[in-house]
Amino acid sequence: MDILVINCGSSSLKYQLINANTEEVLASGICDRIGISGGSFSYKAKNKDKITQEVELKDHEVAIGIVLNTLIDKDIGILSSLSEIKAIGHRIVHGGEHFTKSALINEEVIRHIEECADLAPLHNPAHLLGIKACKHLMPQTPMVAVFDTAFHQTMPPRAFIYGLPYEYYEKYKIRRYGFHGTSHSYVSKRTAEFLGIRLENSKIITCHLGNGSSICAIENGKSVDTSMGLTPLEGLVMGTRSGDLDPAIIDYIAQKENKSTQEVLNILNKKSGVLGISGLSSDFRDLLAADEKGDLKARFAREVFAYRVAKYIGSYTAALSGVDAIVFCAGVGENAKFIRGKIVSHLQFLGITLDEEANLQTVGKEGIISTKDSKVKVCVIPTNEELMIARDTLEIVSKL
Ligand code: ADP
């Protein structure tokens, strides 16, 4: 069954066409700068060359129209008809407390996604544009919403409540939700398979380290704590986001710099993290290159990042009362071997030892990077959120 997976941002749209039975990616690409001038479209089908075109993308419907037309194009297409697409899976960032698992999209589900837009103003409205465009272009095709927050809905109240007046939770649903749930869920399941352990009887800490980063404590396959909060700003020091800080800092900066709260929050979201500390880049490849040339701020930013990750791993070891496996995934986790090395160097007190050679060799692929006698297994498992969305979509639509 061919499933189109769509990840719609406000000005970009990533897509993959996946055969959900064989789990093979048939085609994938990105529409960029939607609604802004200078749009582009990329497409790579199985066994064919990648194409990239400059094309004005007036809105999401135009973008999805181009994706669909390309998939059935006589020369470069991979399908003979759009009816071969049996379902569409949409990534949705925020499902609030309402969604504990993926859902077949209907009017009620759309209404709930709209209600959560308050909590994810940059993401949910964009996802809705994608849903509406698909509904218009392929009205008969069932669609499934897969939420970044759903996996974390198993967190116990003691983990998701902030130390705030309880009425704010009751009135406004202010609590920790967590994100990257699709990734943490996929990676924890795959880790159990890879290590040959039973997920239902395991303690796993998954570290999704990308541009945005989060950590998750997973007990018997269920999320019991995670580092992101009401929004994806909380937790680790990220590419451009500050992560945890004293909330009094917001007003302090606002006063000192004569800025509004919104402006300060924008700095915390877009100009902080390793970009802010290094003054150089949010990309760990740039930071490594600068560090190697003696840039001390780039080195410092990498150290701060690794230290915060290690501190969270330590606290999640307490949350889980132990840990069987620590797993790295996403752009930094899968590739940045020196960062992994720095993180693990803080964890020797847990009886963890890094297999230096395995760590150097394991880049962008699955592998164990701890030594045989390490008390805790440390591994790298590349994440695959699109595949997880396709799996959930298949499961839901095959019951229709
Ligand atoms: P996103 O959160 O945007 O999905 P990714 O998971 O793709 O991000 O991670 C992107 C980040 O991964 C980049 O900004 C970069 O810092 C890091 N990264 C990617 N490849 C490498 C590499 N080979 N070495 C070090 N860091 C890398």
State whether the beta carbon of 364 lies less than 6 angstroms from ligand 1: no
What the block records as the tokens of 115 is: 């209600």
Q: What is the mean pLDDT of residues 387-391?
A: 97
Q: What are phi and psi of 15, to 5 degrees?
A: -140, 155
Residue 175 above 90 pLDDT? Answer: yes
Q: Tens digits of per-residue pLDDT, 28-86? A: 999 999 998 899 999 999 999 999 999 999 999 999 999 999 999 999 999 999 999 99
Q: What is the mean pLDDT of residues 289-298?
A: 97
In ligand 1, which atom is closest to the CA atom of 284? 16
State whether the beta carbon of 210 lies less than 6 angstroms from ligand 1: yes
The answer to whether the beta carbons of residues 128 and 114 sit under 8 Å apart is yes
Residue 350 annotated as part of some ligand binding site: no
Residue 119 above 90 pLDDT? Answer: no
Question: DSSP label at 354?
Answer: B
- Percent over 70 (pLDDT), the chain: 100
Q: What is the mean pLDDT of residues 144-163?
A: 98
pLDDT of residue 5: 98
Nearest Cα residue to 149 out of 67, 228, 236: 228
State whether the beta carbon of 324 lies less than 6 angstroms from ligand 1: no
Residue 118 above 90 pLDDT? Answer: no
State whether the beta carbon of 239 lies less than 6 angstroms from ligand 1: yes
Q: What is the mean pLDDT of residues 171-189?
A: 97
Residue 9 above 90 pLDDT? Answer: no
Question: Among 179, 186, 283, 309, which is best to mutate for testing ligand 1, by the most ligand atoms less than 8 A from CB?
Answer: 283
In ligand 1, which atom is closest to the CA atom of 364? 23
pTM (2 d.p.): 0.95
pLDDT of residue 122: 82
Give the Å distances, CA to CA, from 248 to 153, 244, 261, 348: 29, 12, 11, 34
State whether the beta carbon of 336 lies less than 6 angstroms from ligand 1: yes
pLDDT of residue 120: 86
Residue 333 annotated as part of some ligand binding site: yes
pLDDT of residue 139: 96
Give CATH for domain 2-147. Answer: 3.30.420.40
Average pLDDT along the chain: 96
What the block records as the tokens of 252 is: 């302090």
Which of 2, 32, 118, 148 is an active site residue? 148
The answer to whether the beta carbons of residues 309 and 347 sit under 8 Å apart is no
What is the Å distance from ligand 1's center to 357 Cα? Answer: 22
pLDDT band for position 398 (cuts 50, 70, 90): very high
Q: Tens digits of per-residue pLDDT, 298-357? A: 999 999 999 999 999 999 999 999 999 999 999 999 999 999 999 999 999 999 999 999
State whether the beta carbon of 286 lies less than 6 angstroms from ligand 1: no
What is the Å distance from ligand 1's center to 166 Cα? Answer: 38
pLDDT of residue 396: 98
What the block records as the tokens of 88 is: 């569409």
Residue 254 above 90 pLDDT? Answer: yes
Question: Among 7, 335, 359, 380, which is best to mutate for testing ligand 1, by the most ligand atoms less than 8 A from CB?
Answer: 335
The answer to whether the beta carbons of residues 137 and 68 sit under 8 Å apart is yes
148 counts as catalytic: yes
Parallel, antiparallel, or unpaired for β 203-209 and 325-329? parallel
Residue 294 annotated as part of some ligand binding site: no
Question: Among 215, 240, 285, 287, which is best to mutate for testing ligand 1, by the most ligand atoms less than 8 A from CB?
Answer: 285
pLDDT of residue 21: 94
Best CATH choice for the domain 198-380 from the list 3.30.420.40, 3.10.310.30, 3.40.50.11540, 3.40.630.40: 3.30.420.40
pLDDT of residue 237: 98
What is the Å distance from ligand 1's center to 332 Cα? Answer: 5
State whether the beta carbon of 366 lies less than 6 angstroms from ligand 1: no
What the block records as the tokens of 226 is: 């995670």
Q: Where in the chain is the domain with CATH 3.30.420.40?
A: 2-147, 198-380
Residue 220 annotated as part of some ligand binding site: no
State whether the beta carbon of 285 lies less than 6 angstroms from ligand 1: yes
Q: Tens digits of per-residue pLDDT, 202-230? A: 999 999 999 999 999 999 999 999 999 99
Rounded Cα distance between 224 and 228, Å, is 13
Residue 211 annotated as part of some ligand binding site: yes
Q: Tens digits of per-residue pLDDT, 12-27? A: 999 999 999 999 999 9
Residue 285 annotated as part of some ligand binding site: yes
pLDDT of residue 76: 92
What is the Å distance from ligand 1's center to 334 Cα? Answer: 8
